[in-house]
Amino acid sequence: MSASLLAIEDLSVSFHTPEGVARAVDGVSFGLDRGDSVGIVGESGCGKSVTSLSILRLIPSPPGVIESGRIRFEDRNLLELDPEDMRKIRGRDISMIFQEPMTSLNPVLPIGRQVAEPLMIHKGLTTAQALAEAAQWLDRVKIPAVRKRLGDYPHQLSGGMRQRVMIAMAMVCGPTLLIADEPTTALDVTIQAQILSLMVGLKEESGMALLLITHNLGVVAQMASRVVVMYAGQVVEEAAVADLFERPFHPYTHGLLRSMPRLGGRGGGRTERLREIPGIVPAITETLPGCRFAERCPHVFDLCRQNPPGLFAIREGQRARCFLKDYPERRRNDA
Amino acid sequence: MLRYLTQKLITLALLLFLVSITVFSVLFVLPGDPAQIILGVNATPESLATLRADLGLDKSFMGQYGDWVAHLLTGQSQPSIHYKMPVSELILSRLTVTGPMALLAMLFAVAISLPFGIYAARNQNRPGDVTVMFFTQLGLATPEFWFGILLILLFSVQLGWFSAGGFPGWRVDFWGSLRALLLPAFALGVIRASILTRLTRSSMLEVLGEDYVRTARAKGLTERTVVYVHALRNALIPVLTIMGLQLGQLLAGAIIIENVYFLPGLGRLVFSAIGQRDLPVVRDIVLFMAAAVMLVNFVVDLAYAFVDPRIKLK
Ligand SMILES: Nc1ncnc2c1ncn2[C@@H]1O[C@H](COP(=O)(O)OP(=O)(O)O)[C@@H](O)[C@H]1O
Ligand SMILES: [Mg+2]
């Protein structure tokens, strides 16, 4: 019996828009163990949010369609559950925090009530009991003067405070998996650090698993034990955090690491110049015969444009979608 | 709150003042001599002159305006030329027909438009939505009086469930009076429901795509709670504005429907008063209508503040 909590297998999601069918997620597979924390990184638009929303089956439909795949959570395939069973998992076993704290809370309902709702629906608590427990949780996420604030509305709180409310709301039922979709992207840098350390603390106390979506590799280094790198709807590399930072395989991962701003380089405290990856992501409505990264890849050779590479095992626990695995001599050292 | 109220009252007074000047000027230059209309074409110049003096029509513009305002400020409006009774009494008695009819019509409009608007939004572009949209389109294109006549033909002539018009009076026959208002209110309500349904649908569609609705689903709320608690309150905000406008307009009287159903309402009063050049009636009713619209807007403001905590009454 494995400790695996969540296994996404060959997930594909499309959006049927007037401009054509966009394959936002294309054959994504990865897993998450109980209590583990996995980060998903990749540029904006690569399918991170769509992947995470698929787990809770919250893809807007239409236009979104989950074309194929399995999402096994504990011992059930979430994609085959009837809507009522799926609803009971949401907010109780799997919770989610979103990127935009400004728009993710309902503007016309008091925050106390919004945090209390999952307790009422999943645990059958009365309003008074649920509000009392919600107050405890708001206190744990360090909302000051909680008792007075239960009746406050979201517009009366700052962005950081709202994200704390979102976290409390996600935590009240003690989920086994928390999905956080860029929880700090919309916040000030100082607030970001506070929110991240709050999440680390809650995770350690509760033992829940964490799926953290971000485009910030620094956040991943701090929070996750494994990393999934996505590019244009596909997983291009997956590795333990240490391996990814020390021995990245995929040229795209190399590019991401190099585009990370780093403090205290050889220049003595100066920020190293940010290197961007040249070129743009192909439109996901196009179907390319070869590797999706080919046009931007410094090591590209003829095979890359003809066949799509599979995910090759690089070493124990590390996979990469790149032909360099079989043709290491093609890797150019000057790039 | 107190500041808000005073502010509203001052605005109301100012508006009424402007409306009174405008109405008075328009009626002043309106062709047609009330004295001539009252006495007929064969009246002698002398009798005409006497009547004009009686009615104060021989005074200057400012003199006549002053007379009117003085009456209003002392709370006793001038008598109607035709009905020989104070206009305020006239308006009040007509309002007992128009007021309940307007409220009943809005009740119908809301009871029809909210469920159908929500249903259409939740089934966007599916057959149910297309059907609802088709009927709202039909409703928008249907003239009120024609629909009113259709209802009479069906429910009064064919089925005999309602009388074909008239109004017994609340004191004489309460239930009969209510019955007499049902069909005209329904006709008014259905036509207004067309706009409200479309508005509810589009507002609901927008709200259903909001992040907080996704949050509501992500915490495992039932679809009912998501739609009727989390989405609806937000979706209602723009709909309330139009409901307020419609109610204000209905309180001002529905001339055509009142004529179709022979109802002694405000609309018919002002309509006949214009024909009879019963100027005191026309002026006071117009002023009353302006006040009614302001009052409804005020109620809508209160409703806004109740639904949307971001709005503070200032
Ligand atoms: N509601 C939608 N309708 C159409 N396309 C969508 C929708 N949501 C996402 N997509 C497409 O799916 C792709 C992946 O989006 P997303 O998962 O949000 O990216 P990110 O990695 O930045 O979270 C994008 O190219 C986007 O255009
Ligand atoms: Mg995203």
Q: What is the pLDDT of residues A131-157, one digit of tens each?
A: 999 999 999 888 888 888 899 999 999
Tell which atom from ligand 1 comes closest to the C-alpha of A48.
21
Whether residue A1 has pLDDT greater than 50: no
Residue A309 in this model has a pLDDT that exceeds 50: yes
Strands A312-315 and A318-320: antiparallel
CB of A269 closer than 6 angstroms to any ligand 1 atom? no
What is the per-residue pLDDT for A270?
A: 40
Residue of A nearest to B308 (CA): A108
Sign of CA dihedral B206, B210, B214, B217: negative
Please answer whether residues A237 and A250 qualify as being in contact, where contact means their C-beta atoms are separated by less than 8 angstroms: yes
CB of A53 closer than 6 A to ligand 1?
no
Query: How close B313 gets to chain A, by Cα (Å)?
Result: 16
Q: How far is B310 from chain A (nearest CA, A)?
A: 7
Mean pLDDT of all residues in B9-34: 84
Whether A273 has a pLDDT exceeding 50, the answer reads no
Q: Where are the domains of chain B?
A: 16-73, 88-307
In whole angstroms, give the CA distance from residue B222 to residue B207: 17
Residue predicted with more confidence, B30 or A239: A239
Whether B215 sits inside 8 A of A95 (CB atoms) is: no
pLDDT-derived band of residue A265, with 50, 70 and 90 as boundaries? very low
Establish whether residue A48 lines the binding site of ligand 1, counting it when its CB lies within 6 angstroms of any ligand atom: yes
Mutate to test the interface with A, among B219, B226, B237 (most CBs of A within 10 A): B219
Confidence (pLDDT) at A262: 57
pLDDT band at A285 (very low <50, low <70, confident <90, very high): low
A50 CB under 6 A from ligand 1?
yes
Sole residue written with tokens 């949050």: B215
Smallest Cα distance from A146 to chain B, Å: 19
Beta-carbon contacts of A285 under 8 Å, excluding residues fewer than 6 positions away, are: A19, A20, A21, A22, A23
Q: Is B42 helix (H, G, I), strand (E, B) or coil?
A: coil
CB A133 within 8 A of CB A119: yes
Q: Where does the pLDDT of residue B66 fall: very low under 50, low under 70, confident under 90, or very high at 90 and above? A: confident
Q: Given a cut of 80, is residue B116 above it in pLDDT? A: yes
Q: CA of A252 to nearest chain B CA: how many angstroms apart?
A: 31
Q: Which residue has the higher pLDDT, B277 or A59?
A: A59
Return the number of CB contacts < 8 Å for A and B: 77
pLDDT at A268: 39
Say yes or no for a CB contact (<8 Å) between B218 and A90. yes
Residue A269 confidence class, pLDDT cut points 50, 70, 90: very low
Residues in chain A: 335
Q: What is the pLDDT of residue B307?
A: 84
Flag whether pLDDT at B110 surpasses 50.
yes
Give me A144's structure tokens. Answer: 């000051």
Stronger pLDDT, B59 or B211, i.e. the higher one: B211
Top-ranked range on mean pLDDT: pick from A136-140, B108-112, B243-247: B108-112
Q: What is the residue with the minimal CA distance to atom 8 of ligand 1? A: A50
Highest mean pLDDT among A172-176, A330-334, B2-6: A172-176
Q: Name the pLDDT band for A39 (thresholds 50, 70, 90).
A: very high
CATH number of the domain at B88-307, please?
A: 1.10.3720.10
Q: At A284, is the pLDDT very low, low, confident or very high (cuts 50, 70, 90)?
A: low
Establish if B126 touches chain A: CB-CB under 8 angstroms: no
Q: Could you say which of A58, A88, A170 has the minimum Cβ distance to residue B214?
A: A58
Check residue A176 and give its pLDDT: 95
ipTM, interface predicted TM-score of the complex: 0.87
Are A91 and B218 within 8 A, CB to CB? yes
Q: Is the pLDDT of residue A266 over 50?
A: no
- Nearest ligand 1 atom, CA A42: 21
Question: b/e map of B181-219 (b: 16 or more CB within 10 Å)?
Answer: bbbbbbbbbbbbbbbbbbbbbbbbbebbebbbbbbbbbb
Residue A335 has pLDDT above 60, yes or no: no
> pLDDT tens for residues A181-221?
988 887 788 888 888 888 888 888 898 999 999 888 888 88
pLDDT confidence of residue A117: 95
Burial classification of residue B224, based on how many CB atoms lie within 10 Å of its CB (0-12 exposed, 13-18 middle, 19 or more buried) = exposed
Q: Quick one: average pLDDT of A230-235?
A: 92
**Helix-, strand-, coil-residue percentages of chain B, each rounded to 5:** 75, 0, 25
How far from chain centre, in Å, is Cα A121? 26
Query: How far is the centre of ligand 2, averaged over its atoms, from the C-alpha of A160 (Å)?
Result: 19
Tell me if the bond preceding A62 is cis, omega within 30° of 0: yes
Least confident window among A18-27, A65-74, A283-292, B97-106: A283-292
Provide mean pLDDT across the span A276-301. Answer: 77
Mean pLDDT computed over every residue of chain B: 88
Residue A276 is predicted with a pLDDT of: 66
The closest residue, in CA terms, to atom 4 on ligand 1 is A15
Nearest ligand, CA A284:
1
- Per-residue pLDDT tens over the stretch B136-167: 999 999 988 899 889 988 988 888 888 777 88
pLDDT of residue A272: 43
Residue from A94, A108, A177 to probe the interface with B (highest B Cβ count within 10 Å): A108
Which residues on chain A are in Cβ contact (under 8 Å) with B222?
87, 121
Pairwise CB contact (< 8 Å): A106 & B215: yes
Q: What is the pLDDT of residue B234?
A: 93
Q: Please check whether residue B206 touches A, CB under 8 A.
A: no
Which site among B205, B212, B233 would you substitute to test the A interface, given the most A Cβ atoms closer than 10 Å to its Cβ?
B212
Distance CA A68, CA A53 (A): 15
Q: Look at residue A334 in the predicted model and tell me its pLDDT.
A: 63
Look at residue A3 in the predicted model and tell me its pLDDT: 61
Strands in A318-320's sheet, in edge-to-edge order, are A94-97, A177-181, A209-213, A37-41, A226-231, A234-240, A318-320, A312-315
Residue A245 has pLDDT above 50, yes or no: yes
Instruction: With beta carbons less than 8 A apart as the criterion, state whether A311 and A321 touch.
Output: yes
What does the pLDDT average to over A76-105?
93
**pLDDT at residue A281 above 80?**
no
E-assigned strands of chain A?
4-17, 20-33, 37-41, 64-73, 76-77, 94-97, 177-181, 209-213, 226-231, 234-240, 312-315, 318-320
For B255-299, how does the pLDDT look when each residue is reduced to its tens digit (9 = 90+)? 888 888 888 988 888 888 888 888 888 888 888 888 888 888 888
